[in-house]
């Protein structure tokens, strides 16, 4: 861990500026329900989306992309093979990638695929509590894409996955939990309207991939992605009449969020394994 002070809001603002300056190319192998929304979210954040998901192209593109998202929302046979091809190429090329194990546990094909793909060492894993529990321990999963478990119930499973695969694990919920096995952040930002828009969670996986391309610290990058995303959700919810008006407002808010907004709104706590009090955290360079 770096000796510098880690301030989540400041770090996230730095990485957001870096993302907008560098325009990372994010390859998305994602579900057919959310493709358009995901592409628009990436554009709003400042990244460049590329929906390259066919066999024969997926691997070659993963070698040149800035980052890769593999989302298992609609894993048809072509996408399953393209995912295998892409993650193998990403591992070989050192391309950071995100695994989003949508609805695993309850559905057998995607569950087996998630357990196969995770062995390729994703840089980050994101999902709801039920999905993370299912990936870590073969749990039953939730109701489709909906979680049946609370975020904190998956804290141990998230730490287990992080330790086993060297990944950052992000558990989405009313309070997001992000861990690399040593550091754990909890982000209390966001708005329930985000859960009423198709693709709200899936697009976060793509934004996480974009932020991974901006930093050599996957934990800080994943925290930044979640913080920027959930603060944008709060901004969009202000004045929204419901999910229909929220969705376009969210894309606008994602394009508008800036350092001052993050500093004003961030509700983030950070803990380090083995460090229990504020003075110990400060000595380790963490602003709790």
Question: pLDDT at residue 54 above 90?
Answer: yes
Determine if residue 274 is labeled as part of a ligand binding site. no
**Separation CA 271–CA 152 (nearest Å):** 14
Question: pLDDT at residue 278 above 90?
Answer: no
Tell me if 288 is assigned to some domain. Answer: no
**Separation CA 136–CA 140 (nearest Å):** 11
Question: What does each C-alpha distance from 127 to 16, 59, 142 come to in angstroms?
Answer: 22, 24, 11
pTM of this prediction? 0.92
| Helix segments in the chain, DSSP class H | 8-22, 35-45, 58-64, 77-93, 108-117, 129-137, 155-165, 200-212, 218-237, 243-256, 259-265, 278-283
Q: Which residues pair with 270 in a beta bridge?
A: 185
Question: pLDDT at residue 284 above 60?
Answer: no
**Separation CA 286–CA 267 (nearest Å):** 15
Tell me if 3 is assigned to some domain. Answer: no
Residue with tokens 């994010």: 26
> Closest Cα to residue 69, out of 90, 47, 99?
99
Tell me if 189 is assigned to some domain. Answer: yes
Q: 167 is written with which tokens?
A: 């990944």
Residue 133: CATH number of its domain = 3.40.1190.20
Those residues whose C-beta lies under 8 Å from the C-beta of residue 119, and which sit 6 or more positions away, are 165
- Cross-sheet strand order for the sheet of 268-272: 48-50, 25-29, 67-71, 97-100, 124-128, 168-172, 176-179, 183-187, 268-272
**Separation CA 278–CA 284 (nearest Å):** 10
**Confidence class of residue 276 from pLDDT cuts 50, 70 and 90?**
low
Q: How confident is the model at residue 150, as a pLDDT?
A: 84
Determine if residue 1 is labeled as part of a ligand binding site. no
Question: pLDDT at residue 156 above 50?
Answer: yes
Q: How confident is the model at residue 144, as a pLDDT?
A: 46
Average per-residue pLDDT for the chain: 92
Determine if residue 199 is labeled as part of a ligand binding site. yes
SS3 state of residue 274: coil
Lowest mean pLDDT among 40-44, 87-91, 243-247, 277-281: 277-281
Model pLDDT for residues 33-44, shown as the tens digit of each residue: 999 999 999 999
Model pLDDT for residues 195-231, shown as the tens digit of each residue: 999 999 999 999 999 999 999 999 999 999 999 999 9
Determine if residue 172 is labeled as part of a ligand binding site. yes
Tell me if 130 is assigned to some domain. Answer: yes
Model pLDDT for residues 222-256, shown as the tens digit of each residue: 999 999 999 999 999 999 999 999 999 999 999 99
Containing structural domain, residue 25: 8-283
Q: How confident is the model at residue 137, as a pLDDT?
A: 82
Three-state SS string over 47-103 comes to: CEEECCCCCCCHHHHHHHCCEEEEECCCCCHHHHHHHHHHHHHHHHHCCCEEEECCC
Tell me if 1 is assigned to some domain. Answer: no
What mean pLDDT is predicted for residues 6-21? 98
> Closest Cα to residue 178, out of 218, 234, 133?
218
The backbone torsions φ and ψ at residue 176, rounded to the nearest 5 degrees and listed phi first, read -75, 140
**Separation CA 214–CA 141 (nearest Å):** 32
What mean pLDDT is predicted for residues 145-174? 88
What mean pLDDT is predicted for residues 59-87? 98
Tell me if 129 is assigned to some domain. Answer: yes
What mean pLDDT is predicted for residues 64-77? 98
Tell me if 92 is assigned to some domain. Answer: yes
Model pLDDT for residues 93-131, shown as the tens digit of each residue: 999 999 999 999 989 999 999 999 999 999 999 999 999
Tell me if 63 is assigned to some domain. Answer: yes
Please tell me the total count of domains within the chain.
1
Question: pLDDT at residue 286 above 70?
Answer: no
């Amino acid at each position: 861990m770096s000796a510098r002070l880690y301030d989540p809001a400041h770090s996230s603002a730095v990485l957001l500026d870096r993302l907008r300056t560098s325009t990372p190319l994010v390859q998305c192998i994602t579900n057919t329900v959310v493709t358009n929304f995901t592409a628009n979210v990436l554009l709003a954040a400042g990244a460049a989306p590329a929906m390259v998901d066919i066999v024969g192209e997926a691997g070659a593109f993963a070698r040149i992309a800035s980052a890769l998202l593999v989302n298992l929302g609609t894993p048809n046979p072509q996408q399953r093979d393209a995912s295998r091809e892409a993650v193998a190429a990403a591992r070989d090329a050192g391309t950071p990638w995100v695994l989003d194990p949508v609805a695993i546990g309850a559905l057998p094909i995607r569950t087996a695929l998630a357990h196969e793909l995770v062995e390729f060492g994703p840089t980050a894993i994101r999902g709801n509590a039920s999905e993370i529990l299912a990936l870590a321990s073969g749990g039953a999963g939730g109701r489709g894409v909906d979680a049946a478990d609370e975020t904190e119930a998956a804290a141990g499973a998230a730490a287990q996955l992080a330790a086993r695969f060297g990944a950052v694990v992000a558990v989405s919920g009313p309070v997001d939990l992000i861990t690399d096995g040593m550091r754990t952040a909890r982000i209390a930002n966001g708005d329930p309207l985000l859960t009423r828009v198709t693709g709200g969670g899936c697009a976060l996986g793509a934004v996480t991939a974009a932020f991974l391309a901006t930093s050599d610290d996957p934990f800080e990058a994943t925290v930044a992605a979640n913080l920027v995303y959930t603060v944008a959700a709060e901004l969009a919810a202000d004045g929204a009449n419901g999910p229909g008006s929220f969705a376009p407002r969210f894309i606008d808010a994602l394009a508008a969020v800036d350092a001052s907004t993050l500093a004003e709104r961030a509700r983030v706590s950070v803990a380090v394994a083995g460090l229990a009090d504020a003075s110990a955290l400060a000595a380790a360079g963490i602003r709790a």
